[in-house]
Structures are given as C-alpha cells and as structure tokens.
Structure 1
Amino acid sequence: MFTGLIECTGTVLSLEARGESARLTLKVGPLAAELTEGESIAVNGCCLTVTEWDISQQTACFDLLMQTLKVTSLGDLIPGSLVNLERAMSMSARFGGHFVQGHVDATVTVLDWSPHGQDYRLEVALPAEYAGLVIPKGSICLDGISLTAAEVTSQSVVCWIIPHTFQVTNLHTKAAGMRLNVEFDLLGKYVRNLMQAQTGT
C-alpha cells in the first residue's frame, strides 16, 4: 500500500527484454542503502519488487511481467527517463496522500500540460470505461502521484500542479501526447463493483 507522495525520482539505466518479460534497472541514489530484498516500490505508480540492488552503485533492479508491460507505460521507458519512486507506506508515518495500491488500472494520454502563472495545468484523457470513478475534488493517482481532480468531464480530468510537485516529480519531463499510469480511487472502485453486483449490470 502506498500514499501517492513521491519520495524521490530515479533514472532509468536500462530496460532489457527477457523473453516475454523485462528487467528494469534504475539509478535510485541514496535510496539504495535503505532497500531490502523483496521490498515493494511504486515506480511511476506501479508496484514492483526489488530483485537486486547495489549500494555502492546506487542501483536497483526489477523484473517486469508481460502483463505489467501491457497495462502500464513502463514499456515506454528509455535510458535517461526519470521515474517517480515511493516505498510502501509505514504505519508509523503520517498519511498525507490517499490509498494507493500500486495496481495501475490503465494509461492515459496527456492532453494539456501548460504553465499558468506559477502553477501548471495538467489535463489527461479519461477512458470511457472509467467514467464515474473520478469526482471533482476527489483523488486520482497519475504516475504514482496523489493528485486532486479539479475539473472532471466525461472525456478528461484536470489537475493543477504546484511548483513543488513540478520540481520533485517526473512531471517536469512530460508533454502533451505522452502516456501516464493511472490508478483510480480504491473506494470508488469498490462502490462501483458493489452497485453492479446489486443491480446485475
């Protein structure tokens, strides 16, 4: 379980195809010294397992399943790409974001990414099958970042990004047309499933 509050960013060193899977190697900086084998880390919002790490080289490796490559945007990564990193939440820490599982629902396309004064406007396309899972002032997780949906239509969601978030995440490397991983609010998905079970639709 995660919160959507990014701890740091990492840099892609390689994404190596291995049959129907892949090995992702990241430069994670000082975070490498705090890792343990089998630890869960959200990489651009996708929960991955640390399989190898090197404290001296400050690197970490993750094995990606074909399903992960199909559902997420991780297959788009190239050497030098910046990724958002968050370790699993601690029960002793403040819970400042929202419940994020690290289970990516889909990818969304950036429609608008533009500066407005000191802030930035981020608009992403909303897949029709997920309409209703985002509400105005509700939470949405984009590339692992817990954001507030400021404006919601049947086709898109707009989030406003403050300078701090712009600087400490990978958002400053994004542009219109790029894909982001999206995880919709867990509570909204449960409510939808319960309603569908009751109505049989």
Structure 2
Amino acid sequence: MTANDDPRQPLRLVVNDDEVEVRPRGHHTLLDVLRRELDLFGARPGCTAGACGSCTVLVDGAPASSCLLPAQVVGARPVRTVEGLARPGELHPVQQAFIDHTAFQCSYCTPGFILTAVSLLEREPDASRDRIRAELSGNLCRCGSYVKIMDAVLDARDRMRGHHDDGTPYTGPTAGYARPSAAAGAGAAQVAHP
C-alpha cells in the first residue's frame, strides 16, 4: 500500500495544549492514539469497557474514558493527560499529594485517579469528602489504596484552595497553587465516564 492508498485521514487534536496531527484508523479510540501515536502512556488500558478508570483523560476539562471515545469524535476539544499536569519544576498539587501520602501501590490506576480529582477540584474547590468519594467511584484500585487516595485528594483540595475545612491557612507544600480560570472547567459535562 502506498501513501496515496492509505485510507486513514489526518486528524488534528489538541493534547496537553499542543496541536498534533495523527492518522488513526477508523476504529481507533483516543486511548489508542495517545499510546500508539503520541507515546503518552499515562492513560492505561484496563477493562476496555469504561468501568475501571485506568484510561481516564480530561476532555474539555471533564473525565472521559479514552478506551470508549473514538478518536475521530474528539475533534478540537482539548485533551489533557497526566503528562500535561505538571509545570516545569513543579508537580500539580494533586500529583504532589499522591506522592506525599503514598496514595498508590502498583500505581497502574494512579493517573486516572489524579485526573478525576483534578477535574473535580477545578470545578468544585470546596468539594466535601462525600462528593470526592462519589466522583472517584468510577475509578478502581486493585491494590486497595482507597484510604490513602482519599487522604491525598483531601490534602490536595486544601493545598489548592489555601485553607483547611476549619478555615486555618494551609501552609504546606504547593500552598496557594493558582487554579486555571473557572471557564476552563465550568459547565464541563462528564464524557463517557461512569
């Protein structure tokens, strides 16, 4: 087959603030494109049915199961993977909190949990423990690190908003982290993620 006979059509995506051109096959999912064409391995194959959260990415700021999302339908909507969270020399507060609380064992599920938490905390900076638990319920950890994951997300929430539930200032690492503009995640609907 020559290049002229290739049935794949070019597709422009915005991934981690970079515009990229890929040539997926018609059946390729966003997960396929991220891993096979862009070498972004943070989104991981798990159940391939949208039930485990291992493949979670953010599309328009909302968690999405990239194993279910055909690459062709993403279009110009911005995609963020775990690789796109950190700033030069500084981890995102949720990433740092996961490290500080050792909120993982094998870490296979960690990127999905982190992205789901980032999306929630950008939309709802004062999310309660129950709200966080409900939002993370679409992510599964086979190692059972749920207690530490919850501790990490609660700590990240306090880091990002700059205070604890009782109103005392948060003075630990990454205190005062500036959230993206409210418009970035405002009103974003959840996309193909339980």
TM range (shorter): 0.3 to 0.5
Higher fraction of strand: 1
Higher fraction of helix: 2
